[in-house]
Amino acid sequence: MKTVQAIKEKGKEWYFTSEKIDLKNPLVLVFGNRFSLESLTIYDELKAMFPIGNIVFGSTSGEILGENVYDESITLTAIEFEKSQYHIHSKNIHDFENNSEKLGEALTDKFSKEGLKHLFIVSDGNLVNGSALIQGLEKNCPDNIIITGGLCGDDARFEKTLASYNSNPKSGEIVAVGLYGDHLEITCANYGGWSAFGPIRNITKSRENVLYELDGKPALDLYKKYLGDKSNELPQAALLYPLNLRVKGSNETVVRTILNIDEKENTMILAGDVPEGSTVQLMMSTVDDIAEGASKAAMYAMRNRTKKPELALLVSCIGRKLVMNQRTEEEIEEVIEAIGGQAVIAGFYSYGELSPFSNQIGCKLHNQTMTLTLISE
């Protein structure tokens, strides 16, 4: 595996952080600030740099390159697989009447399943229901195929997210990168570091990812009551107080971030499904707990590996970044300490993370986690 990395900070030209070498058929992962990716020339700019590359764009709530976290920048990581192959397909939610599950099903139907080892997803994070997307993706996937990735971000604005494959970034796009070959070793893991507090509430009315009622009362009113003065800062304030969701009949819990609120309907829109009959509880965290969570995620991802990772794709949540503030890079440092300095680090801060639980295969939508995909040939 060969890699090239570069960054374009606001008001500056591209700067290569590694040696610029010629790559054969590179996969070029480009993560950047939404406003920067809205440039009408961005695809042509990248295509000129990598004329035989396949370019995947995703907007972010912060860019990860090496041990650093950037804002208002564009980062690129170009990857040449020397013993393996990759294929890319994309779909747009607007072509599926905003049905995330049908889109996911159609997307994975495009891939040959022979030799398929892994799917890495870069998805719109504003219009897509992440958990429904996963359900669709898994319908046409063999049971042994692992899916990881993330929902694109837009800092803490929640206005619009962008993604694309070999074209200018656009709203509603979902890109899937299929990795093929017996030489690949890919492991993944995620961990949060958030703690639940306060009373457990029953979801008495919901529809997919829209939450209407908790314990028979309007969910938004109840949530605002807990936030107090911070309710004036919604939806951004919700990133600091996500919901711990336990689906009825399951022992597992997942975290759900509130992406937006509807004052007129008195509802909350979450990153994934919140089924009726489930329970939720408020969560909070500290800088130290989040950094420790990143360390645990990295240790879990390394636990059963036979080779040291050459490439680490990190997807962490915008909520973690808001809590850590100026100490955000500490969670990246914890990851590097656990996986080793030999790995090339790339990734982004997201509106949702896609990954199985540790020692499982089925993918889940997570919020407020550090998710790692470690790759070597």
**Please, where are the H alpha helices in the chain?**
34-37, 42-49, 100-109, 130-139, 219-227, 287-302, 318-324, 329-339
> In a 3-state reduction of DSSP, which class is residue 66?
coil
| Confidence label for 357 from pLDDT (cuts 50, 70 and 90) | confident
Rounded to 5°, the CA angle 24-25-31 comes to 115
pLDDT number for residue 228: 87
Distance of CA 119 to the CA centre of its chain: 13
Q: Which of 351, 333, 315 has the alpha carbon at shortest distance from 130?
A: 351
> In a 3-state reduction of DSSP, which class is residue 262?
strand
List 375's β-bridge partners, or say none: 186, 311
Residue-wise pLDDT for 243-283, tens only, equals 999 998 888 888 998 888 999 999 999 988 999 999 999 99
- What is the C-alpha to C-alpha distance for residues 123 and 193, in angstroms, rounded to an integer? 24
- Using the CB atoms, write b or e for 16-48: b if 16+ within 10 Å: eeeeeeebeebbbbbbbbbebbeeeebbeebee
Locus of tokens 């939450």: 211
For the chain, domain boundaries? 2-191+288-376, 195-284
Distances (CA, A) of 159 to 3, 150, 155, 256: 33, 17, 9, 19
Residue-wise pLDDT for 140-169, tens only, equals 888 889 999 999 999 989 899 999 999 999
- What is the C-alpha to C-alpha distance for residues 313 and 146, in angstroms, rounded to an integer? 14
pLDDT number for residue 231: 85
- What is the C-alpha to C-alpha distance for residues 174 and 111, in angstroms, rounded to an integer? 14
- What is the C-alpha to C-alpha distance for residues 43 and 176, in angstroms, rounded to an integer? 18
Rounded to 5°, the CA angle 191-227-283 comes to 20
pLDDT number for residue 258: 86
Tell me the pLDDT of the chain averaged across its residues: 94
> Counting beta carbons within 10 angstroms of the beta carbon of residue 143, is it exposed (0 to 12), middle (13 to 18) or buried (19 or more)?
exposed
Residue-wise pLDDT for 213-241, tens only, equals 999 999 999 999 988 888 888 878 888 89
